[in-house]
Structure 1
Amino acid sequence: MKMRLMAAIALLVGLLVAMPGWSANARSVRKQLESSLQVSGTVTIGKDGSVIAHTLDPKAPLGETLVDFVNKAVAGWRFAPVMVDGQAVTARVPMHLRLVAKRAEDDKFSVTIASSYFGSNEAVAQSDNPGSTRLAPPQYPKVAQRMGGEGTVYLIVQIDRGGKVANVDAEQVNLRVAGTANEMTRLRDMLTAAAVRAARDWSFTPPTTGETANDDNWLIRVPVDFVLLGPGDKQRKEGEWDTYIPGPRNMGMPWAQEKLKTAGSPDALPGSGAYPLRQGATLLTPLG
């Protein structure tokens, strides 16, 4: 089991029709299917918040049309100026995007940039952000295994000044199997319980420098991936199209809900690990 969303190896059209389901009632749920692709790159932000330049991973299977679409969207973005020591600076930050394709009429597809994650300014010290020291994976629930249930649990973890977990809950659970509403709720609950139980024993390193070093606590996102692999099965790889049914977003955490309002969706996180809820750049315009 890997602690990160990994893309399924299949063609986009096949992904949208081939997701496993438990019952005939799952057909209505399939309408919620999304196929998505994570795309990494960088964006250089001017002192006024405008985009000076950006790059995209040349290995991403985008094609000319999608590359043009993303390039035009990014070029039109506007950010809040990136501040360092109280001064606006030109900042080059890691950029991670999630493109989502949905089936439209006449077997056509609509593609949007659904979510984004911007890492820390390359000039910012690593000690300015919280990090992880122990992220032991959870036990796969046996009932979920028997159901063939797979999915990704996006956790929000609040850590205290000692690096211990003060609070933890699931922000969203995306599933890779279709079932009835009750079946999917049950599976989401099982995966959430397993991930939360494991997270209570995790440990982290609070920031020791930067403007948040004196805070009482910090919020971190951790994606936990539940994947069943049989003999001869290959692990899903990042950078390829993946299909899932997105779960509802949980904003009802009293200890995190105010900051979650401006944090954006979690599913653009770039890989395994722990990610500060506070990103390295704040996008002011729509994603596109």
Structure 2
Amino acid sequence: MKQWLVGLFCVLMACVAAANDLSAVRQRAEASMLITGTVVVKPDGSVGSYAIDRADKLPPVVIQVIRQNVPDWKFQFEDKQAAAVKASMSLRIIARRIDDQHDSVSISAAQFAEEHQAPGETISYKTRAQPVYPQESLDAGATGTVYLLLRVGRDGLVKDAAAQQVNLTVYASDRKMKSLRNDLAKAALKAARRWTFNIPTTGKHVADNYWLASIPVNFSINNMGIERRYGNWQGYIPGPHELIPWLSDKKLFSQAADAIPDDSIYQINQDLQLATPLSGT
């Protein structure tokens, strides 16, 4: 296994000394980074070109994985296009341990949004109360990210809210980690249910009955926001992907929650969708 990945997982595991089975936790540990950029999609759905932000800051293996996969992607549009479309994109690059000698690096998730949207085409925050750090997690020194899915009504209020996934940047026993994930999720949901939003005032989705939004909420002991340097790997223990009872559109269960940049809102009913697998190497 590459030395940089071994070191990263060792740092992660030094955070909380409470695991019952170190080897089992090591097998589940992951490292990832979130990369941003743009992609130009031709009317037929093929990739015309793409650009990665601050490519000089990225490890060569990440550039290689992107180069091997992005040009072969195919997209589908909600409506027929007469011209190429430029979209912002965010990619979650993930490194997983296979065994002591091997690891894999791949694109695990992606989100896209058409650029140059007019003001008012998507929802935006009106009020946003910060979550209170929950006591159990505070006492345990637990940090992590809660990926929320919200349903926003036409009055700008949150009608439904759920935690799609909670990734911890510390480890403990499975039982303790489940409790910590629930603790962080409850705190994030309690705050999110008080948020209010400006709803779209123009565009294709202005008359929708509601809007779905994916939003990450970060918890860290020092500053209520996990520091994420662009181009650096972050180690964590991934939580399970939770099913959401009130989400009726089954195809949305496959939406990637963890490809959303911090402090941003991803409105799920975007018109540009990837139609081919993300793949990896």
TM more than 0.5 = yes
Quick one: which of 196, 216, 229 aligns to 2:209?
216
Please tell me whether the aligned partners of residues 57 and 230 of structure 2 are also in contact (alpha carbons under 8 angstroms).
Answer: no
Q: CA deviation at 1:58?
A: 2.8
Does residue 105 of the first structure (1) align with residue 99 of the second (2)?
yes
What is the DSSP-based 3-state SS (H/G/I as helix, E as strand, rest coil) of the residue aligned with 2:75? coil
Please tell me whether the aligned partners of residues 65 and 106 of structure 2 are also in contact (alpha carbons under 8 angstroms).
Answer: no
Mapped partners of 2:252, 2:209: distance in 1: 18
Does residue 199 of the first structure (1) align with residue 192 of the second (2)?
yes
Q: Which residue of 1 aligns with 2:148?
A: 155
Q: Which has the higher contact order (CA 8 A, sep 6+)?
A: 1
State the superposition RMSD in angstroms.
2.0
Mapped partners of 2:191, 2:93: distance in 1: 30
Q: Which residue of 2 aligns with 1:275?
A: 266
CA distance 1:89–1:280, change in 2 (3 Å): same
Q: Which residue of 2 aligns with 1:115?
A: 109
For 2:237, the aligned partner's letter is I
CA distance 1:193–1:64, change in 2 (3 Å): closer
What is the DSSP-based 3-state SS (H/G/I as helix, E as strand, rest coil) of the residue aligned with 2:184? helix
Count, aligned residues: 271
Please tell me whether the aligned partners of residues 158 and 220 of structure 1 are also in contact (alpha carbons under 8 angstroms).
Answer: yes
Mapped partners of 1:205, 1:256: distance in 2: 24
Q: Which residue of 2 aligns with 1:249?
A: 241
Mapped partners of 1:76, 1:140: distance in 2: 43
Q: How does 1:167-182 map to 2 (within 5 A)?
A: 167-182=160-175
Q: CA deviation at 1:174?
A: 0.6
Please tell me whether the aligned partners of residues 36 and 242 of structure 1 are also in contact (alpha carbons under 8 angstroms).
Answer: yes
More displaced, 21-30 or 189-198?
21-30
Q: Which residue of 1 aligns with 2:77?
A: 81
Structure 1, unpaired ranges of 5+: 1-10
TM-score of the superposed pair, with normalisation by structure 2:
0.89
Quick one: which of 272, 278, 281 aligns to 1:287?
278
Please tell me whether the aligned partners of residues 101 and 112 of structure 1 are also in contact (alpha carbons under 8 angstroms).
Answer: yes
Q: Which residue of 1 aligns with 2:229?
A: 237
CA distance 1:97–1:140, change in 2 (3 Å): same
Q: How does 1:33-72 map to 2 (within 5 A)?
A: 33-59=29-55, 61-72=57-68
Q: CA deviation at 1:71?
A: 1.3
What is the DSSP-based 3-state SS (H/G/I as helix, E as strand, rest coil) of the residue aligned with 1:282? strand
Mapped partners of 1:212, 1:60: distance in 2: 38
Structure 2, unpaired ranges of 5+: none
TM-score of the superposed pair, with normalisation by structure 1:
0.87
Q: CA deviation at 1:235?
A: 3.6
